[in-house]
Chains A and B, each alone.
Chain A
Amino acid sequence: AQSVTQPDIHITVSEGASLELRCNYSYGATPYLFWYVQSPGQGLQLLLKYFSGDTLVQGIKGFEAEFKRSQSSFNLRKPSVHWSDAAEYFCAVGAATGGYNKLIFGAGTRLAVHP
């Protein structure tokens, strides 16, 4: 069965520090992978996605993620975190069903940023 694991429930970093959020997936075929961000009380905003091709994907707000098939991982990175990056981050895998993809989400990682 498809699944997504985000091992870190909560991460705290200092403003200006680098960030890496971990994501591991379980999926039988080549996955469609996504990272979304959710601010408190808000919906989800798409940060980036991987479908095929270059395994290093650039997204919005200075985020990037690298697909590593051998490790079944799709970790999210940012070289320098801003206070406005504090939010909940969700990794998701698209599971093919009936001609489209259902999204299976990880449990999320809550990011806190210290000034």
Chain B
Amino acid sequence: GAVVSQHPSWVICKSGTSVKIECRSLDFQATTMFWYRQFPKQSLMLMATSNEGSKATYEQGVEKDKFLINHASLTLSTLTVTSAHPEDSSFYICSARDPGGGQETQYFGPGTRLLVL
């Protein structure tokens, strides 16, 4: 089946620094990737949709200058949390859309846990 990886799996950083999270589709080309945020014991909230070669589409209430998304290739999307603060601590999960499977399905990465001190 389709495999999506994320790196790093966890990161601890100081307040004010920037953190980059990578999302890769390993065995398929993903023209569209999605970034979600999940708070403890809560559901996933879509942050933005990342399309290869174009600007990301952000959901209402998500600061695009805070969460920079780049989708430079068909297998890689990155999320950069700029000037991170403790309130940005969360579990970030990406997914990739695999249209080649014949149906619209998103495959999820294992997630990245971010802790901002």
Listed in ascending order, the chain A residues whose CB lies under 8 Å from chain B are 32, 34, 36, 41-46, 49, 51, 90, 94, 98, 100-108, 110
Contact = CB atoms under 8 A, between A and B. Distances in A.
Contacts of B107: 46
A100 B43 contact: no
B108 A100 contact: no
Query: Which secondary structure dominates where chain B touches chain A?
Result: strand
B110 A100 contact: no
Contacts of A41: 91, 111, 113
A43 B46 contact: no
A36 B36 CA distance: 14
B108 A106 contact: no
A46 B97 contact: no
Contacts of B110: 42-43
Given A43-B108, A46-B108, 17 more contacts: A32-B103, A41-B111, A42-B111, A43-B109, A43-B110, A44-B44, A44-B95, A44-B108, A45-B108, A49-B103, A90-B44, A100-B32, A100-B99, A101-B104, A102-B34, A106-B43, A108-B43
A32 B93 CA distance: 21
A51 B103 contact: yes
B114 to A, nearest CB: 13
Interface string B39-52: 00111101001000
A108 B42 CA distance: 7
B54 to A, nearest CB: 11
